[in-house]
């Protein structure tokens, strides 16, 4: 068992923060290179014209999921030492609904909003400020929410445990569902319609000129 | 557009995802650590060299010195823990003990009421790969006797020095060192045991231990 | 008119790379990525600087005040990295540009308002869900957490439900 390195005591908190920085840089680079720093591109997900968000997110999920599974199976990664976010059924479902609504309105999520802000998008800056205000306000009013916040806890419950299926079976189902989803996404994007935010710079230019210039 | 090059990179990734995904159900469990490996010879050696346990005084010194990475684990029930526990101790019943993953730089000291459950937990944690694990051989009784109420039994120079050291630690934890009490036999309310081979039953009286009363207040539930 | 900047990377490849980064976090740190936690940590830090007693008494902010403090929170350093990485990527690709992204029929001022509003709503959602798309959807999703997958389903469902109501903002 050689990993996770930090949990096995191979390095301390200071190096851990350096790791945070390096991982963050790689994370930000991946997001921006895929175009996820653009609110128009992200919002297009919800109009089924540009499914980049879905493709990036689920490619990442199945990559990491397969990596975790097989490294665990090979005995390289001690899966029991990896922190699995705890499940609180109701707050996370409701929180997800609220978050999704905000995502459609704002067009960026917390991570991508930082990328947008730092690359010059003023709407990204506004969203970062709004997000910070929302977290602050929720935190200040937390005592009123605390009961709901702590309701329906299930500990670090995983889908294999909840569905009473072997871990590998769930992994398999998620991979197949994702690959199927990718096929559906390609089909949805290929439908003819006015290009909103496609992945080609030429058609982006076309849509901009059609729209009559939308830059600030 | 580099879609051609992208597709050439994508195809092997897609194939790999599909293959790894389809093989996953046949791969078994990704969790490994819960099956411990007991190297019996190594464990026996550790026990023989008495490197498996610490005394209550040693533990008290570690707690007072704020030894980095120290975790004192109480493996008794929640009620017993709530009634009394060693300062800084965490409640960790045996079931959850094996589910928690400890860091390699942590020093774990287990204790129970008498020491038996703690000794068992020591084996479990060693089997799961933790190296810096110790237990209190005499359990909570040892803590009460050595730290909370140390008594001056050995009046030699060495004994007095040891008692002085214990007294300092004892006061730190709010204990009461008893240097005025000397253990000597007394005839009244002593426990009489028959001497071996002596049919006339002239027993050697056991001294009444002053700490025994306090110890018996700790409810006897198990080990 | 050709839009400045290089074309975006293939989404599957970028997603794969992101998955490798996430896996690297699991292998090195035993934890995943996040973003909203950095907002919570910095909020805790500010409240603590302005009203320390209030912050310490608040059960949500108090947890960020222990250890090495809110400003050395792992996620806060990570988000700083995200900003740096995003900036560098855009710089190299020539995609740095000051603009307010919005649909053709939407004013800049309206867009800034809805961006702020959407952010605030997401702030509430992220606090309740203990994370956002990075912490819950990506990290918890890859680790097959039940709550995380509920979050994914809820977020996508609500996003698709609300989108028609704000169509004018984008289309």
- Domain ranges in chain A? 42-83+169-189, 85-157
Give me the pLDDT at residue B203, please.
Answer: 40
Contacts of B34 in chain A (CB under 8 A): 80
Q: Could you tell me the end-to-end alpha-carbon distance of chain B, in angstroms, rounded to an integer?
A: 72
Give me the pLDDT at residue A193, please.
Answer: 67
Of B21, B34, B105, Cβ closest to residue A171: B21
Task: Calculate mean pLDDT across residues C2-10.
Answer: 81
Q: What is the pLDDT of residues A17-44, one digit of tens each?
A: 999 999 999 999 999 999 999 999 999 9
Contacts of C7 in chain B (CB under 8 A): 1-2
Q: What is the pLDDT of residues C73-114, one digit of tens each?
A: 999 999 999 999 999 999 999 999 999 999 999 999 999 999
Cα A85 to Cα C52: distance, rounded to the nearest angstrom: 29
Residue B134, min C-alpha distance to chain C (Å): 26
Task: Calculate mean pLDDT across residues C129-147.
Answer: 96
Q: What is the pLDDT of residues B110-124, one digit of tens each?
A: 999 999 999 999 999
Q: What is the mean pLDDT of chain A?
A: 89
The answer to which of B62-71, B200-209, C9-18, C121-130 has the lowest mean pLDDT is B200-209
Same domain, C75 and C21: yes
Residue A75, min C-alpha distance to chain B (Å): 7
The first and second tokens of residue C15, run together, are: 């997603």
Give me the pLDDT at residue B100, please.
Answer: 72
Same domain, C8 and C89: yes
What is the ipTM metric for this complex? 0.95
Contacts of A185 in chain C (CB under 8 A): none
Q: Name the residue range of residue C107's domain.
A: 103-171
Give me the pLDDT at residue A154, please.
Answer: 85
Question: Cβ–Cβ of A167/B29 closer than 8 Å?
Answer: yes
Of C22, C29, C158, Cβ closest to residue A97: C158
Same domain, C118 and C44: no
Same domain, C1 and C81: yes
Q: Could you tell me the end-to-end alpha-carbon distance of chain C, in angstroms, rounded to an integer?
A: 20
Task: Write down which residue in C56, C82, C97 finishes a domain.
Answer: C97
C31 touches B: beta carbon within 8 Å: no
Same domain, C112 and C54: no
Candidates A1, A10, A35, A78, partner chain B, best to mutate (most B CBs within 10 A): A78
Q: How confident is the model at residue B4 (pLDDT cuts 50, 70, 90)?
A: confident
Q: What is the pLDDT of residues C53-78, one digit of tens each?
A: 999 999 999 989 987 889 999 999 99
Same domain, C1 and C78: yes
Contacts of B101 in chain A (CB under 8 A): 7, 78, 80-81
| Exposure letters A114-146 (e unless 16+ CB within 10 A, then b) | bbbbbbbbbbbbbbbbbbbbbbbebbbebeebe
Give me the pLDDT at residue A204, please.
Answer: 47
Give me the pLDDT at residue B105, please.
Answer: 82
Give me the pLDDT at residue B99, please.
Answer: 66
Task: Calculate mean pLDDT across residues A134-147.
Answer: 96
Q: How confident is the model at residue C1 (pLDDT cuts 50, 70, 90)?
A: very low
Q: How confident is the model at residue B181 (pLDDT cuts 50, 70, 90)?
A: low
Is the pLDDT higher at B101 or at C53? Answer: C53
Candidates B3, B9, B14, B24, partner chain A, best to mutate (most A CBs within 10 A): B24
Contacts of C108 in chain A (CB under 8 A): 216
Same domain, C23 and C73: yes
Question: Cβ–Cβ of C1/A202 closer than 8 Å?
Answer: no
Give, for B162, the enclosing helix (H) or strand (E).
Answer: helix B157-172
Is the pLDDT higher at B169 or at A98? Answer: A98
Count of C-beta atoms within a 10 Å radius of residue B158: 8
Give, for C110, the enclosing helix (H) or strand (E).
Answer: helix C108-129
Please check whether residue A89 is in contact with residue A149, taking contact to mean a CB–CB distance below 8 angstroms. Answer: no
Same domain, C114 and C151: yes
Task: Write down which residue in C36, C69, C97 finishes a domain.
Answer: C97
Task: Calculate mean pLDDT across residues A194-199.
Answer: 48
Please check whether residue B10 is in contact with residue C13, taking contact to mean a CB–CB distance below 8 angstroms. Answer: yes
Q: What is the mean pLDDT of chain B?
A: 79
Cα B14 to Cα B19: distance, rounded to the nearest angstrom: 9
Same domain, C86 and C134: no
Same domain, C22 and C67: yes
A205 touches B: beta carbon within 8 Å: no
Same domain, C107 and C51: no
Task: Calculate mean pLDDT across residues A83-103.
Answer: 96
Same domain, C9 and C92: yes
Cα C14 to Cα A16: distance, rounded to the nearest angstrom: 25
Task: Calculate mean pLDDT across residues C110-139.
Answer: 97
Give me the pLDDT at residue C3, please.
Answer: 58
Give me the pLDDT at residue B32, please.
Answer: 67
Q: What is the pLDDT of residues A29-83, one digit of tens each?
A: 999 999 999 999 999 999 999 999 999 999 999 999 999 999 999 989 988 889 9
Candidates A60, A62, A212, partner chain C, best to mutate (most C CBs within 10 A): A60
Number of domains in chain C: 2
What chain B holds in terms of domains, given with CATH numbers, is 40-145 (3.40.250.10)
Give me the pLDDT at residue B7, please.
Answer: 83
The answer to whether residue B198 scores a pLDDT higher than 70 is: no
Find the closest chain B residue to C13 by CA distance: B10
Is the pLDDT higher at A196 or at C95? Answer: C95
Q: How confident is the model at residue C47 (pLDDT cuts 50, 70, 90)?
A: very high
């Amino acid at each position: 068992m050689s990993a996770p390195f930090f949990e096995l005591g191979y390095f301390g908190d200071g190096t851990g923060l350096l790791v945070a920085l390096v991982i963050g840089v790689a994370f930000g680079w991946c997001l921006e290179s895929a175009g996820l720093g653009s609110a128009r591109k992200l919002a297009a997900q919800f109009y089924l014209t540009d499914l980049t968000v879905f493709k990036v997110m689920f490619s990442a999920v199945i990559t990491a999921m397969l990596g975790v599974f097989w490294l665990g199976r090979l005995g390289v990664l001690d899966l029991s030492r990896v922190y699995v976010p705890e499940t609180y059924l109701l707050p996370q479902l409701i929180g997800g609904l609220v978050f999704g609504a905000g995502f459609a309105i704002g067009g960026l999520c917390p991570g991508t909003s930082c990328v947008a802000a730092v690359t010059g998008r003023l709407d990204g800056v506004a969203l970062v400020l709004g997000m910070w205000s929302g977290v602050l306000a929720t935190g200040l009013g937390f005592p009123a929410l605390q009961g709901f916040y702590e309701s329906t806890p299930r500990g670090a419950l995983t889908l294999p445990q909840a569905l009473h299926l072997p871990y590998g079976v769930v992994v398999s189902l998620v991979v197949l569902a994702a690959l199927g989803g990718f096929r559906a996404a390609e089909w949805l994007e290929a439908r003819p319609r006015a290009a909103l935010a496609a992945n080609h710079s030429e058609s982006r230019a076309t849509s901009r000129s059609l729209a009559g210039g939308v830059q600030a | 557009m580099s879609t051609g090059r992208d597709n050439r990179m994508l195809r092997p990734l897609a194939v790999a995802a599909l293959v790894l995904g389809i093989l996953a159900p046949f791969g078994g469990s990704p969790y490994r650590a819960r099956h411990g490996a007991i190297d019996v010879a190594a464990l026996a050696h550790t026990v023989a060299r008495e490197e498996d346990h610490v005394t209550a005084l040693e533990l008290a010194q570690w707690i007072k010195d704020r030894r980095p990475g120290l975790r004192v684990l109480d493996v008794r029930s929640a009620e017993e823990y709530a009634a009394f526990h060693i300062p800084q101790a965490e409640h960790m019943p045996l079931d959850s003990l094996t589910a928690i993953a400890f860091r390699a730089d942590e020093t774990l000291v287990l204790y129970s009421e008498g020491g038996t459950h703690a000794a068992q937990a020591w084996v479990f944690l060693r089997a799961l790969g933790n190296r810096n694990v110790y237990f209190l051989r005499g359990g909570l009784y040892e803590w009460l006797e050595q730290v909370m109420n140390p008594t001056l039994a050995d009046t030699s120079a060495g004994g007095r020095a040891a008692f002085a050291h214990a007294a300092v630690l004892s006061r730190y934890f709010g204990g009461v060192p008893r240097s005025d009490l000397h253990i000597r036999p007394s005839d009244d309310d002593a426990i009489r045991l028959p001497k071996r081979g002596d049919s006339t039953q002239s027993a050697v009286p056991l001294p009444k231990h002053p700490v025994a009363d306090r110890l018996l207040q700790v409810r006897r539930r198990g080990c | 008119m050709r839009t400045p900047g290089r074309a975006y990377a293939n989404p599957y490849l970028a997603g794969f790379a992101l998955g490798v980064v996430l896996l690297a976090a699991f292998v090195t740190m035993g934890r995943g990525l996040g973003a909203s936690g950095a907002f919570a940590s910095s909020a805790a830090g500010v409240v603590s600087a302005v009203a320390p007693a209030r912050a310490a008494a608040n059960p949500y902010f108090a947890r960020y005040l222990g250890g090495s403090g809110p400003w050395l929170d792992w996620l806060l350093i990570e988000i700083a990295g995200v900003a740096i990485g995003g900036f560098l990527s855009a710089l190299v690709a020539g995609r740095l540009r000051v603009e307010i992204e919005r649909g053709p029929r939407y004013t800049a001022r309206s867009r800034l308002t809805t961006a702020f509003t959407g952010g605030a709503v997401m702030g509430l959602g992220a606090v309740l869900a203990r994370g956002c798309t990075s912490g819950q959807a990506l990290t918890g999703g890859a680790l097959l957490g039940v709550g995380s997958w509920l979050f994914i389903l809820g977020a996508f469902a609500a996003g698709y439900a609300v989108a028609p109501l704000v169509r004018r903002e984008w289309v």
